[in-house]
Amino acid sequence: MSSIVQNGELVLRDIARPVPEELFGSEELSQMLRDMDTALDAEADGVALAAPQIGIPYRIFIARMDRTLSPREERKADPELLPKRELVVFINPEIIRSSQKRIEMDEGCLSVRGLYGKTRRHNRATVRARAEDGSTFERGGGGIVAQIYQHEIDHLNGILFIDHAKDLVEVNHE
């Protein structure tokens, strides 16, 4: 299993490379995505993961959209009502639209364990990306979904949330 690299590793500060055409639909790309999924799945509080976070220098991120929904009390009581697992793969993503309105949001990162802070992010964002088979799609969202898009694309550009967060606090995860 791939482990999540922590702040200080050079791969987190490099600008990730675009996934080349020949990798689309390949076993090599499928294996990278499985490794990313396994690493994210092991982090119960994680909602998304960029490839550089497990040492892969490509412009890829994955998001567990089902983890963006807060479970209501009635869902917790009945596992059948919990949202079904929804993993979305974004290859060579770019933000093509964002709202002018920015909101302050609490933020953390699986590669900066134990630190949390406040960031200002666009309230809404739309991403254009490619799927594993090479097809192109667009997906938009607001709130935490827009935050995910911005946070993960920052990772692909060598930027960590702590570079622009304020009111950082350290929380012990033991």
Q: Which residues carry out catalysis?
A: 152
- Both tokens assigned to 46: 């994680």
User: How far apart, in whole angstroms, are the C-alpha atoms of residue 75 and residue 46?
Assistant: 20
Strand partners for 124:
142
DSSP-assigned states of every residue in the chain: -PPPP-TT-GGGTSPPBPPPGGGTT-HHHHHHHHHHHHHHHT-TT--EEEGGGGT--BSEEEEEGGGGSPPPHHHHH-GGGSPPP-EEEEEEEEEEEE-S-EEEEEE--TTSTTEEEEEEEESEEEEEEE-TTS-EEEEEEETHHHHHHHHHHHHHTT--GGGT-EEEEE----
